[in-house]
Structure 1
Amino acid sequence: MARISAAERRRDFINAAVDVIAIYGIDGATTRRIAEHAQANLAMLHYCYDSKEDLFADVYKFVAGRFSDVVKDSDPHTTLADTAGQLLRGVMQCYLESANFTAATLELISWARRQHEDRGIAVYDEAIETVRDALRGAASEQPVDRETIDQIAYIIGTLSDGFALSWLTYGDRSAAMAQMDVVASVLESWLAARLGSAPVTV
């Protein structure tokens, strides 16, 4: 049997932690449960991670990385409006692909706020800033002011978060796919109105 590297094991534990957090919440996400879900023994988990906090730090990085991947997968050669639409659909698709990822993401951010820690805020801030960067790149062909970029990023975050909550609450994939079109149309309508009067940068 091929030996599994420590890096591969860490990935297994991160994925398992996401699932366990989604099912049991942060407080119920014990290292024993995570190890069992990863089909590994507890000693291996403690070999890869000095503490539960170290593992959770990697889980936060994983969540932030998923949002960064959405931006990387967007087409950089489109208009600002098209880029915004791609980003919104990409984030919603990311949520739709895994209810556990959705539940764990919301739980991690809420838990961090309850603990007065900034990790949850940092993940959210990093995701929004990544979206801003992509929008700024698209705006090079259609320059708009910073406030408009911030507003578009905020709306993408707000609409995708609302979609995530609805998807997580009802768990109806076919309904969620139809709702993606509705949510995207809300952004499109706002963009059509806003960009038509957006101040141009000088």
Structure 2
Amino acid sequence: MKKEKSIYKVNPKTGDKKQLFIDATICALAEYGYKGTTVRKIAEIAKVAPGLLTHYYSGKEVLIAESYKYLSHKFLELFRERVAEHRDNPLEALNIFFLKTFERENMDPRLLRIWLSFWSLTLLRKDLGHIHRETYHNYIEAIEGMLDRAYDLAGRQEDAERVRRQAIGINALLDGLWLEWCLNPETFSREEGLRIVYDFVESATGLVMDKDFSRLD
């Protein structure tokens, strides 16, 4: 899989102005948060006049909403790619999901500032709630699928509702650990966070994970 470009970089020379402004918005949110992100600041990062930016987008909230859609779908597609690469080994697919959650790039306070901005806007604009609902549903469905295949390979049958509860629990645990670590990295190490996830999954499912901590960057 090709290396993805950093979400904290923009290419002012790109011909796709809409994407340029979305990239610049994400960078502004990462550095300045929701309150500090203005049309002028976004234009400065994109290296264009504010008037050109407002020709494409009517204001800050619209840009943040479009950035929310873009980044949510981008992360979801990356997740799907990683899962698909290990479709025949569902426990390894789960393992990759856990490892990627705790890799350095994802445990970055800048990423927290971006998502806090998105969530703040969602509270202000209820019409954006569908973005969260759609992406959440897809993550839970994918985790359910990995668990179902893992149980099949282990020669076990599990109730669909129980598997769904497990998927929701795994997703919630990852979100909670990620949020706590970004707020205070001294609470636990990334390796400890990963151990917590492994302990929960093995206790809840009876499945045995390949706990290779050397793969944590």
**TM-score category (smaller protein):** 0.7 to 0.9
SS at match of 1:14: helix
The 8 Å contact of residues 132 and 150 in structure 1, kept in 2 or not, is answered as yes
* Match in the other structure for 1:103: 113
Counting only pairs closer than 5 Å after superposition, residues 89-128 of structure 1 correspond to structure 2 as: 89-93=99-103, 96=106, 98-113=108-123, 115=124, 117-119=126-128, 121-128=129-136
1:46 and 1:116, CA in 2 relative to 1: closer, same or farther beyond 3 A? closer
**With structure 2 as the length reference, what TM-score do the two structures score?**
0.69
Q: For 2:47 and 2:135, how far apart are their aligned partners in 1?
A: 31
| Aligned-partner Cα distance in 2 for 1:160–1:13 | 30
Matches within 5 A, 1:33-72: 33-68=41-76, 69-72=78-81
Q: Is the 8 A contact 2:140 2:168 kept in 1?
A: no
Distance 1:72 1:94 in 2: 20
**Sequence identity, in percent?**
20
Match of 2:22 in 1: 14
Segments of 5+ residues of structure 2 without an aligned counterpart are 1-11, 209-217
Distance 1:144 1:35, change over 3 A: farther
**Does the C-alpha gap of structure 1 residues 38 and 177 become closer, same or farther in structure 2, counting only changes over 3 Å?**
farther
Question: Is contact 1:16-1:35 (8 Å) kept?
Answer: yes
Residue 32 of structure 1, CA deviation: 0.7
Distance 1:16 1:4, change over 3 A: closer
Distance 1:137 1:91, change over 3 A: same
> 2:47 and 2:13 mapped to 1: Cα distance?
14
Count the aligned residue pairs: 187
Conserved 8 A contact 1:96-1:167: no
Among 179, 183, 190, the alignment partner of 2:192 is: 179
Q: 2:36 aligns with which of 17, 28, 38?
A: 28
TM-fit CA distance, 1:105:
1.0
How has the CA–CA distance of structure 1 residues 56 and 166 changed in structure 2, closer, same or farther, with 3 Å as cutoff? Answer: same
Q: Is the 8 A contact 1:132 1:153 kept in 2?
A: yes
Is 1:76 aligned to residue 87 of structure 2?
yes
Query: How far 1:59 sits from its partner (Å)?
Result: 0.8
Report the counterpart of residue 157 of structure 1 in structure 2: 171
Pairing partner for 2:141 from 133, 137, 140: 133
CA-based RMSD: 3.1
- Structure with greater proportional helix content: 1
Q: Give the unaligned 5+ runs of structure 1.
A: 197-202
Shift of 1:100: 1.8
- 1:113-164 per-residue CA deviation (whole Å, 9 max, x = no partner) reads 2x25252x43332232222332344325625433233223322321222222
Letter in 2 for 1:129: H
Q: Does 1:86 align with 2:100?
A: no
